[in-house]
Amino acid sequence: MHDDGPGHSIDISEEGGVRYLHFGSEWIQGAMRIRRPWSLELDYTREMLAGLLLHAAPWPKRALLIGLGAGSLAKFIWRRLPQTATTVIEIDPRMPFVARQFFRLPAEDERLAIRIGDGAALVARERRRYDLILVDGFDEHARVGELGGLPFYRACRERLSRRGVLAVNLFGDRRGFRAGVERIRSVFDGRCLALPACAGGNVIALATAGAPLAVPLAELRRRAVELKRTTGLDLAPTLRRLQAAASLPDDTLRL
């Protein structure tokens, strides 16, 4: 497929049993292993859900996704987290069709709603609160625009529930990572954790604003085992990398 719509083309490629989404460049904007369409193929998409280790199931009840792309996160939550109702904000009106046609995104129902519009503007006007907000919005040049600014992060903080977690995909050079993490940290009063960079160069930042979290490493491991058993999502490698890279006083993750 080659669709020259507003702003950029949408291209689909396949290699080694994996289907890829591109926005008119070599950057990979999404991927699906054709024989495992409900799994999360890219490392960073798995780490976007690291917040699932911070609270025991059946959290989260309500999730907000900024950026649909190939629909990997939206369809994983729909399929594997039946307790969660998800709202997706996508700026490109072509993307829902592409995600359904080529990447097995399910139709909208009572647990999946897709809104077309500018993520930064819609979040600023939103009044509903969410347990989990996932920000993964890039243009064809791997830029985030207003989705990386202080006003947007402030709006996200306002939209988090009492036990809410924000997860942001940061992509770029090391300086870009540091600047993005510092902006999030400033808005969330220092309560921000940057996971070690994935193999593809993505850094996932987690932030919270409700009651302080203190989760023992043993409990994080127990939740990772249970999460893999119930959903197939394996976050044990993330925990090992986090333990090696970050200071965890008293073997406890505090956020």
> Catalytic positions, please?
136
The alpha-helical segments, DSSP class H, found in the chain are: 43-47, 72-80, 95-103, 119-125, 150-159, 174-187, 217-231, 236-245
The answer to whether the CB of 164 falls within 8 A of the CB of 208 is yes
Of 80, 82, 76, 122, residue with least CA distance to 99:
76
H or E segment to which residue 169 belongs: strand 160-170
Q: How far apart are CA 227 and CA 57, in angstroms?
A: 9
| Pairing relationship of beta strands 192-194 and 160-170 according to DSSP bridges | unpaired
Ramachandran angles phi, psi of 195, nearest 5°: -70, 155
| Pairing relationship of beta strands 112-116 and 85-90 according to DSSP bridges | parallel
Of 72, 92, 76, residue with least CA distance to 84:
76
User: How big is the CA angle at 166 (ends 188 and 246), to the nearest 5 degrees?
Assistant: 75
Between the CA of residue 148 and those of 27, 106, 183, what are the distances in Å? 19, 29, 8
